[in-house]
Amino acid sequence: MLRVVVCVSGGGTNLQAIIDGIAQGAVCQTEIVRVISNNPGAYALERAKQAGIEGVCVSPKDYENRSLFEAALLQCVKEAAPDLIVLAGFMVKAPDEMVRQFENRIINIHPSLIPAFCGTGYYGLRVHEAALARGVKITGATVHFVNDGMDTGPIIMQKAVKVRDGDTPETLQKRVMEEAEWVLLPWCINLIAAGQIRVENGRVTIAE
């Protein structure tokens, strides 16, 4: 069994896609052992509860400084003894120490085709606003391993989504989620659980 910790901050639709993937058998050999949110009000925590998964909040507001918060977050992750950490709409940059201890064992979903519209400041609706402002005809989502940079780790998988005339950041965000994010993330976790993903020299290969 692949023990997975999922880190969230908001609505948790990507978390739900993983929960559903496991329940429906599309994601095999995988167990979500803990959901961690930095935000006590995250609906994702409610989703975890409804699925019978332990949900824990580690809020920066409860710590005197950033390094104490980061230490508590890492501790909370490690207590669950995960094989894989999934950042699913987690609005906190993974602490360096966590990245070091879990090299190539942390993945993130980003709602664009990296390297477009990623890096510092590109999160949530801003990503889609930027894509529309640039007038791209195709956008999408990317699942990648997390390194110490911002959206710079090895890319695992990408899925393209067409931009339509008249799209708003909201309609585009919704379509990218439905057509790309909710498909890609469970798919990648299943491949990792099956031992089919390799990282060599910063590049990912997927075994057939």
As annotated, the active-site residues are 110
Binds ligand GRF by CB under 6 A, chosen from 10, 55, 95, 153: 10
Q: What is the smallest separation between the CB atom of 95 and ligand GRF, expressed in angstroms?
A: 17
Number of Cβ within 10 Å of residue 116's Cβ equals 16
- Interface residue with ligand GRF, options 95, 111, 153, 154 (CB under 6 A): 111
By beta-carbon proximity to ligand GRF, the closer residue of 172 and 191 is 172
Report the nearest approach of ligand GRF to the CB of residue 182 (Å).
8
Q: Which of 21, 82, 89, 186 binds ligand GRF (CB under 6 A)?
A: 89
Nearest residue (CB) to ligand GRF, 42 versus 74: 42
Task: Select the residue whose beta carbon is closest to ligand GRF and give its number.
Answer: 89
Which residue lies nearer to ligand GRF by CB, 34 or 110?
A: 110
CB neighbours (10 Å) of residue 173? 20
In whole angstroms, the minimum distance from the beta carbon of 42 to ligand GRF comes to 8
DSSP β-ladder status, 84-87 and 138-145: unpaired
Residue 14 · residue 88 · CB < 8 Å: yes
What are the strands, taking DSSP E only, across 50-202?
A: 55-57, 84-87, 106-110, 138-145, 155-162, 197-200
Return the axis-axis angle of helices 43-50 and 13-23, rounded to nearest 10°.
Answer: 10
What are the angstrom distances between the C-alpha of 99 and each of 10, 85, 123, 146?
Answer: 22, 10, 20, 7
Contact range with ligand GRF by CB under 6 A, out of 18-26, 59-67, 92-100, 104-112: 104-112
DSSP labels for 154-172? PEEEEEEEE--TT--HHHH
| Contact positions vs ligand GRF (CB under 6 A) | 8, 10-14, 44, 88-89, 109-111, 177, 181
